[in-house]
């Protein structure tokens, strides 16, 4: 197997943390997003979606979505379990991954990509050149403001997003909170449960 990645970006960070916690090493090749290498013909032959990371399996199959990579690699390397230890916990973990993707991560990305000069006409990842929409900056900020208190309330009763065990949902939240710094935001001090979760996650990451 081989991973095509770009270390600083959020989605590659999700996969990198997963592999680290699994103790699994896979050959990697950096794709220079800053130089738009992902849009070149060579990389698009590997992944037509022009996104990172891409996990290429030994038979040549290319996986381009991190949730799919989690699922495949969890089956190959079940210990330590990171996608839940019961049917309900697995369902909660995947559900939270989607909630975070559609809420917190999307909100941050909307702010970042729609106001950054470096993303002029590149407002969405992928092969299409799409114009920035300034109104999506405000909408993204509102998405962030809406989901942070939900997360804080949820974590008042649970140590981890999906329940008693650390899962991929916590990896995704950990990366998303780091992504906040890209738009010069952080978790407000008033969200004490979420901050306590951050402290536990930092310890879990080693």
CATH of 87-205, one of 1.20.1530.20, 1.20.1050.10, 3.40.640.10, 2.60.40.10: 1.20.1050.10
Residue ranges covered by each domain of the chain: 2-76, 87-205
**Percent of the residues in the chain that have a pLDDT greater than 70, as a whole number:** 100
Higher pLDDT residue, 183 or 119?
183
pLDDT band at 92 (very low <50, low <70, confident <90, very high): very high
Calculate mean pLDDT across residues 110-138: 89
Q: What is the CATH superfamily name and number for domain 2-76?
A: Glutaredoxin (3.40.30.10)
Calculate mean pLDDT across residues 110-135: 88
Quick one: CA torsion of 94, 48, 24, 158, rounded to 10 degrees? -20
Sign, Cα dihedral of 36, 39, 40, 46: positive
Three-state secondary-structure class, residue 29: strand
Q: Do residues 179 and 111 touch, judged by C-beta distance below 8 A?
A: no
Which helix (H) or strand (E) segment holds residue 164: the answer is: none
Choose the weakest-confidence range: 67-76, 102-111, 119-128.
Answer: 119-128
Calculate mean pLDDT across residues 54-80: 98
Widest CA span of the chain, in angstroms? 50
Per-residue pLDDT at 206: 78
């Amino acid at each position: 197997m081989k991973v095509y990645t770009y270390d600083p970006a959020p989605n590659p960070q999700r996969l990198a943390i997963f592999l680290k916690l699994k103790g699994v090493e896979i050959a990697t090749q950096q794709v220079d997003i800053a130089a738009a290498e992902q849009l070149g013909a060579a990389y698009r032959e590997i992944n037509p979606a022009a996104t990172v990371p891409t996990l290429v399996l030994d038979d040549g199959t290319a996986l381009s979505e991190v949730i799919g990579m989690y699922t495949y690699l969890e089956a190959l390397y079940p210990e330590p379990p990171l996608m839940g230890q019961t049917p309900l916990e697995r369902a909660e973990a995947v559900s939270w991954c989607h909630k975070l993707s559609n809420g917190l991560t999307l909100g941050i990305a909307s702010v970042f990509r729609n106001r950054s000069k470096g993303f002029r006409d590149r407002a969405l990842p992928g092969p299409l050149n799409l114009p920035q929409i300034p109104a999506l900056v405000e909408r993204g900020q509102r998405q962030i403001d809406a989901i942070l208190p939900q997360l804080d309330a949820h974590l008042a009763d649970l140590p981890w997003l999906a329940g008693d065990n650390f899962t991929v949902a916590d990896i995704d939240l950990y990366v998303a909170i780091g992504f906040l710094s890209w738009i010069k935001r952080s978790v407000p001090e008033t969200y004490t449960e979420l901050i306590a979760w951050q402290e536990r996650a930092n310890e879990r990451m080693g």
